Structure 1
Amino acid sequence: MRLAERAKNISPSPTLSIDAQAKKMTAGGIKVINFGAGEPDFDTPENIKQAAVQAIAKGMTKYTPVAGIEPLRQAICNKLAEDNGLQYEPSQIVVSSGAKHSLYNAFQVLCQEGDEVILPAPYWVTYLEQIKMTGAKPVIVPTRVEDCFKLTPAQLQSAITANTRLFVLNSPGNPTGVVYTKAELEALGEILEKNNIAIISDEIYEKLIYDANRHVSIASLSPGLKDLTVVINGVSKSYSMTGWRIGYAAAPQPVAKAMADLQSHSTSNPTSIAQAASLEAITGTQESVQKMVAEFAKRRDYMVDRLTAIHGVRCNRPGGAFYVFPDVKALLGKSYAGEAINNATDLARVLLAVEHVAIVPGVAFGDDNCFRLSYATSMDNIREGLDLIEKVLKALQ
């Protein structure tokens, strides 16, 4: 049976692959310290789970409107107004089966063959694959650890051509935890608005933010930027609801309608019960989010302090999300127990095979001088895992 070319060009998610390999080893009786997880290690809050139980008891087990139930879409509008200073109508909201699904819908209705999409690197692995699925060309712009992995206005301007259709923004970001300031977004936004370039702004880590950092949505900076932007968000990360699969997009009316129409012929509505739980997540108490952020901040600080104390490691202190992205370029070209370490992929292979520590090499995100560690795991795991990583890095010759 012949596969379509688009199917042949899809690369599997390296992050999920690493996680699956680590879990397979664990199932075989091997203790693995897994830093690959892209989900909080906290349980879904009880009030959210109970909302789902009540929805089942009430018989909320049928189809819903494709774009989501009206109360949830209205709650999302209220949230966007209160948290982000953005005014939307429920008809401009499309609820989907996770933020990844929301992104897929947005890329599919905005991009086509011949378009170019500017994608700053390091990037979340799925952006690249979803751009490729549309037939558009990803234009990858590398950022530097010295710039905290932030795209500069000069880099953005240089990447724009007559074919540029879209710019992908992720703040707070995965894998770097980067948070753009309002001034930085204004500088990028001025260029994007002047060139009439559409924006996908992935804000899924919005509530997981630390220190004096503040999340700003680029869509809130001007009416013109709002008209160019599809805002992507969801409940997965902030409320520890990754398995519930609810994401959403806020977009100009024609774009929202196109996304809903596309969804009507793929998945139909997102799960009815998960929608009820998400309504409670957004409108209910936010105490669990605050507790989770406080714990993540402690883990982040410990992890960054440990990594930066290792000779040859450069590690920015992330402003959001739950990842660090240390740069080990200075240590590459060496070896460990006869194994060549020429890039982070080699380092990941050695760490998993020899010390049973799972990290995600930066090649998955467009920079194989770095690797990603998630601090969405216990402090005990973090301590033990960093001990083993330090052991390997200090033994490189």
Structure 2
Amino acid sequence: MSYEVEIGRGKRGRRAYALDDINIVPTRRTRGPEDVNLDWQIDAFNFGMPVIGAPMDSVMSPATAIALGKLGGMGVLNLEGLWTRYENPEPVLEEIAALNAEQFSPENTARLQQLYSAPIQPELISQRIAEIRDAGVVVAGALTPQRTQEHYRTVIDAGVDMFVIRGTTVSAQHVSATQEPLDLKQFIYELDVPVIVGGAAGYIPALHLMRTGAAGVLVGFGGGASSTTRRALGVRVPMATAISDIAEARRDYMDESGGRYVHVIADGGLGNSGDIVRALAMGADAVMLGAALARAGEAPGAGWHWGAEAAHPTLPRGDRTQVGTVGTLEEVLVGPTHHTNGTANLMGALARAMASCGYTELKEFQKVEVQVASPPQS
């Protein structure tokens, strides 16, 4: 069966689907939500929910990473963000929250660029990691591929449990005429901690990332609510298709490697519980959440959300977006809630959706029947 459509006489392209295009079909059997098990394990680490906090300054601080860890998820601290550039970033966060209320504002962007131009301080990387470690939760930190060579030794020496390499798009075969590229396979081989790497949005790049030895691959470009990558670069792959393609790469890599399982983690465009449910149904093992957790009362962004791309010094690709506050972090993740729009009690909604379809385990839920309800988005 061909999935290509003719765009014009000189170009054909695959038909692709966003999560909103997908409907989940219940089976003949239902279960009680209390019977659903949302436990997730990656490498040697066990979690009570398949949730990773995105390494974005509006979402994760040391305090929120600790809080998420105690609730059963894993928070990832941005080790190139405000918490490693400023001894006390609270006034900086307050200033960002108080900027012009307009979402698109060149003045806001200019100020973000100025604030993020402060140098990264290695001693603060060590200090923030130690703070999270002292709380007794899994410690995870993120660097971009461009900064990994410079700072990874500080991160490892500080005692990180999980290392995340996250960029707009990350490949195992980056080629540069001006700088020595990061050799992901050699880098991961030499580390003593598991590595999650991405984003990737297609079968081939994801398969190559799996061959580097990564424990998990991030699917998507991250920062869905605040990213303008599609407008600025024209780069976008609808998430339902991206997850499904990379889940297939995972299966083929298992055959190729003799059974090594690489986790597929959906990252970006997961603003409500329905998106999370559909992402897991399409084959994701876990989700990395940004805007969904930025709505928590404890979130550093105080109801505003932005990613690292928003402060890029020469080509910013993101806006500071108002997402509001819907409850505490606990209420956002496990309830209870008074919100009916899928912005709170995310795990309760996931458990109920799985139970409604007769599934009690996350991996089994990846087999659920789905339908395409509408034409793909333009």
TM-score between the two structures when normalised by the length of structure 1: 0.30
- Greater Rg, structure 1 or structure 2? 1
Higher helix share: 1
TM-score (normalised: structure 2): 0.31
